[in-house]
Amino acid sequence: MTKLVAANGSVENGKTIASNYCLACHKIGNEGIDFGPGLSEIGDKLSKEGLFNAIINPSEGMGFGYETQLIKMKDGTEFTCIVNSKTENDLIVKLVGSSEQKIYKLADVESVTQLDESLMPKFPLSETELVDLVSYLETLRK
């Protein structure tokens, strides 16, 4: 980690990497999908080391409200998602890669279990790509 934090990368290459990986689930400005936490001001929220850790070890710091939930339906189907709300009658969720909410009847749900693993995958980025990506993310500020 010390080597990564000490390195400086290409902001322009990092922006391309963010477009290829991050925008599938995160918003940066007006671009991307509103599924995971917004990244528009992430440079104000996380240190350089925090950014590397969030990318390399996504399950270590899941943000409140973005915890992975395993939903088991009474018909035997299962899926992972983020639960937006639960009422007496409905379970309202966001599915991976979508900003749209989907509503399930609570009567059809067998169980909802919080998992320890983030929905954010560990991306196969080289050290150079990681440094470039974090160099770009650091610029995202108010």
pLDDT at 36: 94
Please say if the pLDDT value at position 111 is more than 90.
Answer: yes
pLDDT (average), residues 106-120: 96
pLDDT (average), residues 130-139: 98
The overall average pLDDT reported for the chain is 96
26-79: pLDDT as tens digits: 999 999 999 999 999 999 999 999 999 999 999 998 888 999 999 999 999 999
2-28: pLDDT as tens digits: 999 999 999 999 999 999 999 999 999
pLDDT at 127: 97
Domains defined along the chain, listed by start: 2-60+125-137 (1.10.760.10), 69-114 (no CATH)
Using the CB atoms, write b or e for 94-112: b if 16+ within 10 Å: bbbeeeeeeebeeeeeeee
Using the CB atoms, write b or e for 26-45: b if 16+ within 10 Å: bbbeeebbebbbebbebbee
The number of residues making up the chain comes to 142
pLDDT at 63: 86
Q: What is the DSSP letter of 38?
A: -
Please say if the pLDDT value at position 138 is more than 90.
Answer: yes
Question: Which among 123, 99, 108 has a CA at the least distance from the CA of 22?
Answer: 123
Question: Which among 67, 74, 70 has a CA at the least distance from the CA of 112?
Answer: 70
CA distance 139 to 102: 34
Higher pLDDT: 1 or 29? It is 29
Look up tokens 């995202």; give the residue.
140
pLDDT at 83: 96
